[in-house]
């Protein structure tokens, strides 16, 4: 009887964390179109005004092209009708065949050199690949691969220097069997790590699937998405790189990745209204998409707006939304990307 009770309890808990019973209420935008050249690949975007994309194979989530390596695409949002361009990746020690990109962030040096830091999962392990963006050649020069024992299950990162970043680990366990139990039991053991070449440490913990991470335009605050708790957390960043929890915002959706408007400071969040459909993909009943805009998140009562939502007829599983000069790009888990004029 006790075993049945615990089984029912954890089953109910898992369904609640996944928002398994939620149906999507449609919120449409009038000027949207799918981007040509992006089909059956996972997409993630984060940078202004040049947006970088990638593809991902992730344990427990369906992949339409499991045997193809990931790639980085470029889209210039300053163009009237922007298109995507695949960036050539070069470097003597870079293995493009095992490139499996996930989270992505950029850092611009004092001389305006742009560096791209990319979470990758070669053979489903975790690394951070450091690239230099060569704008004239439209290519990426691989500079370094970063590995560390405190970075075992990387999801996303936000760069604070060329080789300095905060990163989320979305699981505690590395073993796939134990990871599945960690997810099922709701063990809030994932964390956030600060990395530099000389200092690596856990700076925040106790998350039920730490996911997207970003930073305020003034670099004073770090935003963390806790996917299965449906929360956005705000942390104050200190000069010694420690983080202090400031507030949390409850959302009625699974919050994935966070982009921050560099002008307004608004948060744009790609979300999963029903997480069960993400982890149990059914093409006949595909996962929906949802985009939140969060204004004045530091205020006592932030304004949260559902900017876009649909039930899977257009996109399958939105992960991220980036906005630049009235234009929005929505990336997904499974396929396609959507370009909208707001």
Are β-strands 199-207 and 289-295 bridged in parallel, bridged antiparallel, or unpaired? Answer: unpaired
- CA-based R_g, the chain, Å: 19
Task: Look up residue 68 and give its two tokens.
Answer: 């193809």
Which of 102, 171, 230, 272 is catalytic? The answer is: 102
**Crossing angle (nearest 10°) for helices 176-185 and 2-18:** 90
- The reply, when asked if residue 256 is annotated as ligand binding, is yes
Contact indicator for 328, 321 with CB cutoff of 8 Å: yes
102 given a catalytic annotation: yes
Task: Look up residue 242 and give its two tokens.
Answer: 């420690």
Give CA–CA dist 9/137, Å, rounded.
56
- The reply, when asked if residue 156 is annotated as ligand binding, is yes
- The reply, when asked if residue 155 is annotated as ligand binding, is yes
- The reply, when asked if residue 100 is annotated as ligand binding, is no
Q: Tell me if the bond preceding 181 is cis, omega within 30° of 0.
A: no
Helix (H, G, I), strand (E, B) or coil at 338: strand
Helix (H, G, I), strand (E, B) or coil at 120: strand
Contact indicator for 324, 340 with CB cutoff of 8 Å: no
- The reply, when asked if residue 285 is annotated as ligand binding, is no
Give CA–CA dist 243/210, Å, rounded.
15
Q: What is the dihedral of CA 72, 77, 80, 86, to 10 degrees?
A: -10
Give CA–CA dist 14/109, Å, rounded.
44
Residues with Cβ within 8 Å of residue 304, at least 6 apart in sequence: 249, 251, 292, 293, 294, 295
Q: What's the longest Cα–Cα distance across the chain?
A: 68
206 phi/psi in degrees, rounded to 5: 85, 30
Catalytic residues: 102
Annotated binding site for Ca(2+): 104, 155-156, 211, 256-257
Annotated binding site: 104, 155-156, 211, 256-257
């Amino acid at each position: 009887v006790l075993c049945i009770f615990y089984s029912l309890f954890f089953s109910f808990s898992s369904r609640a964390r996944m928002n398994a019973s939620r149906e999507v209420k449609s919120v449409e935008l009038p000027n949207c179109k799918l981007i040509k050249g992006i089909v059956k690949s996972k997409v993630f975007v984060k940078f202004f005004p040049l947006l970088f994309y990638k593809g991902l194979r992730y344990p427990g989530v369906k992949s339409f092209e499991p045997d193809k390596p990931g790639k980085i695409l470029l889209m210039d949002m300053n163009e009237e009708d922007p298109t995507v361009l695949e960036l050539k990746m070069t470097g003597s020690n870079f293995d493009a065949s095992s490139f499996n990109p996930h989270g992505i962030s950029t850092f611009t040096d004092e001389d305006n050199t742009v560096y791209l830091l990319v979470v990758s999962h070669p053979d489903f392990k975790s690394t951070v690949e450091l690239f230099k963006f060569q704008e004239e050649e439209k290519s990426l020069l691989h500079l370094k691969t970063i590995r560390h024992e405190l970075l075992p299950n990387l999801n996303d990162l936000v760069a604070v220097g060329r080789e300095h970043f905060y990163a989320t680990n979305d699981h505690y366990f590395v073993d796939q069997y134990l990871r599945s139990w960690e997810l099922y039991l709701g063990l809030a053991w994932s964390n956030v790590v600060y990395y530099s070449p000389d200092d690596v440490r856990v700076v925040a913990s106790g998350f039920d699937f730490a996911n997207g991470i970003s930073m305020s335009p003034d670099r004073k605050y770090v935003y963390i998405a806790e996917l299965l708790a449906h929360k956005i957390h705000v942390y104050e960043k200190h000069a010694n790189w420690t983080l202090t929890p400031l507030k949390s915002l409850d959302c009625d959706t699974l919050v994935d990745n966070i982009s921050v408007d560099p002008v307004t400071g608004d948060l744009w969040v790609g979300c999963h209204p029903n997480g069960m459909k993400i982890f149990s993909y059914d093409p006949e009943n595909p996962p929906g998409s949802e985009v939140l805009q969060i204004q004045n998140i530091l205020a006592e009562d932030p304004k949260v707006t559902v900017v876009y939502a649909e039930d899977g007829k257009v996109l399958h599983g939105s992960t991220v939304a980036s906005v630049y000069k009235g234009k929005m790009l929505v990336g997904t888990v499974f396929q396609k990307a959507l370009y909208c004029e707001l």
